[in-house]
Chain A
Amino acid sequence: MTTTIIWTIAIISGLGLLLALTLYLVAQRFKVVEDPRIELVEKAMPGANCGGCGFAGCHAFADSAVKAPNLDNHYCPVGGNETMKKVAEILGYEIKEKAPMVAVVRCNGTCSVRPRTSEYDGTLSCKVKASLYAGDTGCSYGCLGCGDCVAACKFGAISMDPETGLPVVDEEKCTACGACAKACPKAIIELRKKGPRGMREYVSCVNKDKGPGVKKACANACIGCGICAKTCTHDAIVLENNVAYIDFEKCKLCRECEAMCPTGAIHGVNFPKPIDKDAIKARVKERQKKAREAAAAAAEAAKPVGEPVEPPVLRQAQEPEQFKKEESNG
């Protein structure tokens, strides 16, 4: 009896030791050596695995960042500059700081200004709706309102406003990962520079149709009149395919375009003071009048001599007053 117990224990223990040894040897033989920095970098990441950086997740980002010669092609939009500084410290690289971005919904066709022309009773998905037809309003470029962007956001930063029927971005929660911009079949959502203290100017419309048709479809649309582009003294606005676009790298937030826009398609957000459209309009008109007069005078002066003259300078280099004030505040 005792012998049996002893034998059993001995065999089981022996077997255990043997297997442990095998496992140890196999583990040694097939050991995967991973750069310890990958784990460090991954720990410094936000861990959202959102894919906003272009990699499959935070681990893939860390893996690639460690192997890369520099960090030029690596940027975590969620963690922003803070995270990137930590990553750079671990890896001993230098980083170029990037301006924080935010998702901007470029459609202002609320239910009240964009009349419904048909009723959609299909699947509640923008992707499906866009594959079926141009949408249930006269605007074939605008927001379809089924909320694909809301579903795509992993940070709960977008919600549909039931009153306007348009998505609203919560700036605090938005990490600029770009998932919503990819999900939008109409390419309405754009990642734009957050701007100083969140102040930014943008054209809230992407309608490429010509003026009269656009106006009929949506009262808030950009009709491509080009007034904003003519007003802008910073060369920040381009008019292409009947729609204006503000280059956020060049925009100096003077708000002149916003004041001059006849349809209210240009939006300025997070400005400390409400816009005084009349004052800006008067100022712009005065400036344009002076420019015209100067041009006429130059032409007059050039006439008798008959020599070629430089074309009149319409844009003034002078900065508008309001902007100066804001700049000094900041």
Chain B
Amino acid sequence: MAKRTFSIGGVHPADSKISRGCKLEYLPIPPTVYIALSQHIGAPAKPVVTVGDKVKVGQVLAEPGGFMSAYIHSSVSGTVKSIGPRKDLSGNNQMVVEIAVEGDEWMENIDRGDTLVTDIPDDPKAIIEKIKLGGVVGLGGATFPTHVKLSPPPGKVCEMLIINGCECEPYLTSDFRTLLEKGEQVVIGTAIIKKALGVAKATIAIEDNKLEAIEHIQKVVNEFKSKGPEYSGIEVLSLMKKYPEGGEKQLIDAVMHRQVKSGGLPIDVGAVVDNVCTALAVYEAVQKNKPLIDNSVTVTGECFPKQANLIVRVGTPLNYVIDYLGGVPEAAAKVISGGPMMGKSIANLEAATMKGTGGLLFLTREQTKRMPESNCIRCGKCAEACPMGLEPFLLNRLAKAGDTDALEANAVQDCIMCGCCLYSCPAGIPLLDIISQARGQVMGIMRARTAAAKAAAEAAKAAAEAAKPKSE
């Protein structure tokens, strides 16, 4: 039987998972951490500590700054040194809480033991509240606050939970190691999310380049079936390896054969997608009271001598991680946060890790060399490769002409910035750079329009209200 995968576009970059054999390892705690207040999509968190406060591991540093926001916890114990702007990995200022580490004292309510807790709380609301208090955000890359995702808007029904274990980005192996070493916790986490959503079916989707993980998770799922009704209905699905299978919309297509409409959300087709690391974080937050204070980071690259999959406390400076493994190798020309396809090139190694940091990739000058740009020959490879069914060559031209109306009509806002177009372009045209810039511009215009429409509607409503009592 042909393996399942998504139906539109996609590319097949080399796997390069050279760190797949490296076991998860705890990185020593750095002397100072810098915990950013905006580690998620949405409003930045509001700090609740002040300079000079003593904090413990797991203590709340900042509260959500709005509906779409998340709690931020201290990942270390020590003293708050400062709260202020610091340059992040792209060199832009970001508000951070600087903590000087003293010892490793945890909050008393956190269960640090290794025993598996398989009994799942009964009340979905209580589960979601615990996830919210644990500051759990989506660890697949977008860092979408999980408690928001698990509370579908009224009228929307979730039919299936998909746990994303694709890890389709080349090089990255932290999800794979998590599946292999913390499979039980991931499965319990899956059952918890399933309970919170009230769905009967959950699918753990894994690409077929991780056979050990598929076998291991299958075994765990079979074992757990006897442990209670919560654990039934969980399936393990092997998918054909293709990039970007881990994209939310692509994964829904591959698993459920349903397409999310332009501008829609997964819940519109009855799906909720969460990453395996998110499932693990949910397990820890709900069963162990441990908030999201560390995450697994793959440190890799052909030119990097000491590959590793590290569990890193949030806010650890990147150069501390790199120095622990022997420093930046001479041959490295570029350090990327994340994978080679969607990761961001790091301009400032003094920046600290965040909840969503998944990998540090070292590439040589040879590997990062850009092809000289030549004219578009209309071969259509980019359109074939685009997993969202867009026409990158057209968007590129429209972006250069600055025609935002036409860009919007051609759905530039649907671009998931996977980089398939740039990867497949034989003319070396920097399609992704130009399209993502245009996408940002168009989305800004769309947001402004929505806000203006909302304000106008409210003003009209207020005017109507004001007019009412007079007429009566």
Contact = CB atoms under 8 A, between A and B. Distances in A.
B450 interface: no
A133 B368 contact: no
A131 B436 contact: yes
B347 A134 contact: yes
B92 interface: yes
A329 interface: no
Contacts of B87: 134, 140
A117 B348 contact: yes
A140 B437 contact: no
Contacts of B92: 133-134, 140
Contacts of A138: 91
B433 A133 contact: no
Interface string A122-148: 110101100111111010100000000
A132 B90 contact: yes
Given A121-B370, A209-B93, A136 B347 contact: yes
Interface in B212-245: none
B393 to A, nearest CB: 15
Contacts of A132: 90, 344-345, 433
Interface in B346-399: 347-348, 368, 370
Contact of A127 (B85, B93, B345, B437): B437
Q: How extensive is the interface on chain B, given as a class?
A: 10 to 19
A118 interface: yes
Contact of B434 (A119, A123, A134, A135): A123
Interface string B422-460: 000000001001101100100000000000000000000
Interface string A146-173: 0000000000000000000000000000
A174 to B, nearest CB: 22
A123 B433 contact: yes
29 contacts: A117-B91, A117-B348, A118-B347, A119-B333, A121-B368, A121-B370, A122-B433, A125-B433, A128-B430, A128-B434, A128-B437, A131-B436, A132-B90, A132-B345, A133-B90, A133-B91, A133-B92, A133-B344, A133-B347, A134-B87, A134-B90, A134-B91, A134-B347, A135-B91, A140-B91, A140-B92, A140-B93, A209-B85, A209-B93
Interface of A: 117-119, 121-123, 125, 127-128, 131-136, 138, 140, 209
Given A117-B347, A133-B345, 14 more contacts: A121-B370, A123-B433, A125-B433, A128-B430, A128-B434, A128-B437, A131-B437, A131-B440, A132-B344, A132-B433, A133-B91, A134-B87, A135-B91, A209-B93
